[in-house]
Structures are given as C-alpha cells and as structure tokens.
Structure 1
Amino acid sequence: MSAAALIQEQELQLRAQSYYPENVAHNAKQVEHVRSTALSVAGGVAGVLGMTNWLGFGFYVVSVLLTNVIVLAINANGTPSKYFITPSPPLKPLTAQTSAPTPAKNSNVKSQISTKALTIDPRSGSFSTNDVASFLINGLTENAFSFILWWTFWFGIVHVYD
C-alpha cells in the first residue's frame, strides 16, 4: 500500500469518528456536576423534612432517578446518543467496500482501480433500553456520601431539639 493510500485511509478513519473527545469529557463533567449539586440539595431537603432510616435512603434513590431523568429529558433533548458515548453497537457499521481489480482494455498497461465507499453513521451508537437503565442509576454510589453529609447536617440543624 502506498503512502498516499495510507494517508487517505487515515483521513477516512478520522472522519468516521463521530465524537470529539474534549466535548465528551466536558459533557461528562457537566452531568456529574449537575448530579452532585442536585443530590446535595436533595440531602438537605431530606434532613429538613426529618426523614430517617429507610425513608431517607428511599428518598435518595428517587432523587437519583429523578435527576437522571431530568438530565436525559432536558439536557440531552431526549436524544442521549447525540451527547453520550454508549457501548451499543452502531446503527450502521463502518464498512469499507473495495471493488475487484479490473484489467484495462490495453493488455500492455496493467492498472487496477480500487475505490472505497465508506458508510459512516453520524453517531457511534444509540441508547438501548439497557443503556438508559444504566444511565438512570449512574451516580448512585458516587454521590451517596455527599447526600448523607447534607442529610445529617440539616437534620441536626433543624431537628436538634425534637
């Protein structure tokens, strides 16, 4: 394979990448910030309302689910595959089709024509039911300590003399 063919192949592969890594990292950082803030506020609400034991932890689980639904519905505009990378297979696979070599009409000149048609899906995958379910419980363990911190803090502040 010649150098020009290698460069052309690399350019096609670069065009096939549908996500800009810096944007993906920024989106993940912003979603984590939204989750962290929302669940800290939910911990404060649970403390002010005087929730204890399993009622408080149930409120935490509902808060995580509600926060993630809001992120999917509002922030991702209902199309999460546009903003998040998923492990799902692509809708259309990335394929390079090569035509068979064809001899020229003049037998003295042997040339081969090779054309590549690249089918590129604009996204690397789509959100399946399993992806949505895993996204909805995402952040459940990461934000538990901040929820508990704010929960106990506000419970202690508001209900100290009960």
Structure 2
Amino acid sequence: MATTTDNAAQLIFAPNVLHNQALTSVKFLSFCFAGAVAGILGLENWLGFALFIASIVSTSFIIYAINCRGKPTKYLPGGLVELVNPGQDNIFTFILVWTLFYGIIHGTKC
C-alpha cells in the first residue's frame, strides 16, 4: 500500500541520514588508505587502479554485510548500486594520496 512512502520517509529519518554520513566517511577513509598503500608499494598504471577496484569491492562488501545488514536500500537511496559507486571525489582522493605517497617514498633524489 504505502510501502514506497514509508521507504522514502525512512531515507529522510535522522538516524538513517547520520548513518549515510558515516558510510561516506568510511568509504573516504578506505580510499585514502588504499591510495597510501598503492603509493608505498610503488604501484604504477593499471596495478594501482586494480587496487582501487579491489578496495571498492572490499569496502562495499564490508558495509553491505556489517553496517547495512544486507539491506542497503534502507540506508542508501540507490541501494546496492549506490553502495558500490565510488564517487568522483573518492576517485580523486585515491589518486591524490597515491601520487603523494609515491612521490614521497619513490621520488627521485636530486
């Protein structure tokens, strides 16, 4: 009957909004850490992006299993698609941290 209205109301419910912010922070920190690992390991080209994809899959699985309890549509408007979507900001964050750590660790000496 009114299940779509109830689902829409749950997305605006304050505890769910706070949970969405926590999920965004977890994804951001995960991609920062993955970028640091890629830079420290000295990964270049496609190997670095393979690590990025692996971090997307692992972070999404952990959030799906633990935080969303197998029901991502309760916490995210797009459901599973939104959970796996890394977002433009997170891609740029990964690349920034990756190049920063790569330059610090593996930079050429003058």
- Report if TM-score (shorter chain) is over 0.5: yes
1:63 to 30, 35, 55: 55
Identity %: 34
Distance in 1 of aligned mates of 2:11 and 2:89: 26
Distance in 1 of aligned mates of 2:107 and 2:76: 44
Query: What do the CA deviations read for 1:48-90 (whole angstroms, capped 9, x no partner)?
Result: 010001111111111111111110011122233443345xxxx
1:83 to 70, 75, 82: 75
Look up the SS of the partner of 2:69 in the other structure. Answer: coil
Aligned-pair CA distance for 1:140: 4.1
Task: Give the structure with the higher percent strand.
Answer: 1
Amino acid at match of 2:95: I
Amino acid at match of 2:42: G
1:40 alignment counterpart: 32
Distance in 1 of aligned mates of 2:6 and 2:83: 26
Look up the SS of the partner of 2:51 in the other structure. Answer: helix
Structure with more relative contact order (C-alpha pairs < 8 Å, separation 6 or more):
2
2:6 alignment counterpart: 17
Which ranges of structure 1 fall in alignment gaps of 5 or more residues?
1-12, 87-130
Aligned-pair CA distance for 1:136: 4.5
Query: What do the CA deviations read for 1:135-162 (whole angstroms, capped 9, x no partner)?
Result: 3531243301110111011111111248
Greater shift after overlay, 136-145 or 147-156? Answer: 136-145
Look up the SS of the partner of 2:53 in the other structure. Answer: helix
In the comparison of the two structures, how many residue pairs are matched? 103
Distance in 1 of aligned mates of 2:45 and 2:74: 39
- 1:58-137 paired onto structure 2 within 5 Å: 58-86=50-78, 131-132=79-80, 134-137=81-84
Task: Give the structure with the higher percent helix.
Answer: 2
* Contact 1:27/1:84 (<8 A) preserved: no
